[in-house]
Structure 1
């Protein structure tokens, strides 16, 4: 199903104007590149995203395009990028983006350029949930008590367990969002996000778990999030190794990909030896033990657990502890099956799960020339090396309580 992303970079940035000397927030720099570039690079690295539409202010369209192309010359995105001008309201800019999509686009993501920290796993959650809804939004459960008031008088306390702070990217079936735009335009309705249009027009909108790291640069205080410098980070490496025995058990999966006609795997979870080694390598970057400590095979919760879902948890922990992935090198060792038919798909899928470009995610397959347990076709093993950067740790790695 053809999927494109619209990145809204057409805002005026009025709330930040004084703090930025009039520079609009989409043109502010983070790690040497403008905000309007960062999320585009994340989306372009995902196999499911076929192209990007950038929406910029009419008076600064060429400036935005030039800055963007300068970044793309250094780090090619590998997907087509279209440009259009924004409108007075957010929904006007969104409509301009929709009009620029190719006719075959069936799913669309709408994202704010002022959220430069968006991740591939979050985006994939939105797209996966879109199978069941007309639109999907990522949300963070509200932890404060929220009261509704008129002037200085509180009228009611809202049920906190039903409230979410909504983020982008928001995902939509393109036809449903297009119809929602027409409906609110016909009724003269102003909205603050695209999902509101779908709600107003009767569409079904689902919510998935957002990420607290997916912050939006809105106020002067938020500018502190853009001051991270490479000099405040240290390089780190993590090494992962895992082995599984062949035998009656689980169908073989590697990197989340089913291996047709491969030997069955004896395992408590789904037995994805490659993702298990990858998770151990990531935990190694954090100095946080191994997957056996976090997902023990004595716990029934992990019986036949999907390793891709466990990897999402580990990646959330990595972001929570300030880890930025740079490169992953993976090796699978087995005498059987021959992995050449699946290598490209495995590499592409793992890169998408990690939010890395494919050229920063390497996969090798080899044998041990008939030696040892792999050579005797008794099992399979995987070795993974992860390189990254993290802020200098001042305490032991900690994990959110979301599990």
Structure 2
């Protein structure tokens, strides 16, 4: 017989911290894409092949109305699993205990999720449930690495300890537990007067093993008024790309610079600005992502203001225009064509500097240098070329 797992959607909180920003409405009941927040994680949980039913926990004063709303939503868009309902308690752990009381006898494990986490993905539900089914543990919880340094303080506010950040995880839901062990932990909490913020804490106090698996950074909880912006309808991000090409002749008086890195040597550039052919191609490629024109129109060589100006300064202006057009760069692929000088010794420095200028991870910046086998303009050492391909995301 298949292991039976049920999900619990906790939607019984009062939302006092958000009351002023929401007009008094509890956050889990806020409308989002045609349904209250608590309905969205229910969809994600029910879509997992490892979830066999759902329990909704609503505040006592609105249990009947919320149950009717859930049944109406399910009639319109069936979740495909049986639904049960429970009345919330004074504390979160009381609400969980009430949910456990209405689970069927056939249920062996349970997934407990916060109704104010509407961005839950089914993949995370299945990951957590599957890890519990592998056996040998009492609970499985998702967590994401902590990016800020955390300080532990004493009662007076003085720093007592700085935990190793590499060992810390910010915990999310759904949290999966073997039902019999979770019930025993709740019974002990009631008997001994424990008050905890999540069910994993109960198992930890009972010295039962709880595994942390990788969570999902998008699985955020609507907690503070500023989080309400996450519920606003956003235009979709659409992929776009831009192509840039530039060429400069040798024989001028500008030192050769590529990607903001001074190359030096005998080859001097003929140019109005600093003649950084690579950044010029890159700027045109970025502009191409939002039909922003080209650098010849933005920074004409007839304008004395751009005489010997650094291309890094011009690139900063182009990136500002891209941001104003809601364009976010994802990847750049750059190629320089030159017979001489040899650029291999500077390739890594160029790549790293471009990544810094664009605020991109290093593995999202590609740089290559090649020759035209002594043919044509570059092969005859008359100048240097560069091409750039940019991929980006833009709000439609």
Equivalent residue runs for 1:164-243 within 5 Å = 164-229=169-234, 232-233=235-236
Provide the residue aligned with 2:100 in structure 1: 98
- Equivalent of 1:118 in 120, 124, 134: 120
3-state SS in 1 of match to 2:43: helix
Q: Deviations over 1:210-237 (max 9, x none)?
A: 01100000100110011125xx237x8x
- Equivalent of 1:154 in 153, 159, 164: 159
User: Matches of 2:72 and 2:329 in 1, distance apart?
Assistant: 39
Q: Alpha-carbon deviation of 1:15?
A: 0.6
- Equivalent of 1:143 in 143, 147, 170: 147
Equivalent residue runs for 1:3-402 within 5 Å = 3-130=5-132, 131-132=134-135, 133-150=137-154, 151-229=156-234, 232-233=235-236, 394-397=327-330
Q: Deviations over 1:170-202 (max 9, x none)?
A: 000111111111111111110000000011111
Q: Deviations over 1:67-87 (max 9, x none)?
A: 222322221111111011010
Structure ranking higher on relative contact order (CA contacts 8 Å, 6+ apart): 1
The normalised TM-score by structure 1 is 0.58
Q: Deviations over 1:358-395 (max 9, x none)?
A: xxxxxxxxxxxxxxxxxxxxxxxxxxxxxxxxxx9723
The answer as to whether partners of 1:2 and 1:107 remain within 8 angstroms in 2 is yes
User: Matches of 2:188 and 2:180 in 1, distance apart?
Assistant: 12
Q: Where does the alignment leave 5 or more consecutive residues of structure 2 unmatched?
A: 242-324, 332-359, 364-396
3-state SS in 2 of match to 1:207: strand
Q: Runs of 4+ in structure 1 displaced over 3 angstroms?
A: 396-402
The structure with the largest alpha-carbon Rg is 2
Q: CA RMSD in A?
A: 2.2
Q: Deviations over 1:109-139 (max 9, x none)?
A: 0000000111111111111221241101100
Aligned residues: 247
Q: Alpha-carbon deviation of 1:64?
A: 1.3
3-state SS in 1 of match to 2:202: helix
User: Matches of 1:56 and 1:30 in 2, distance apart?
Assistant: 18
User: Matches of 2:362 and 2:69 in 1, distance apart?
Assistant: 40
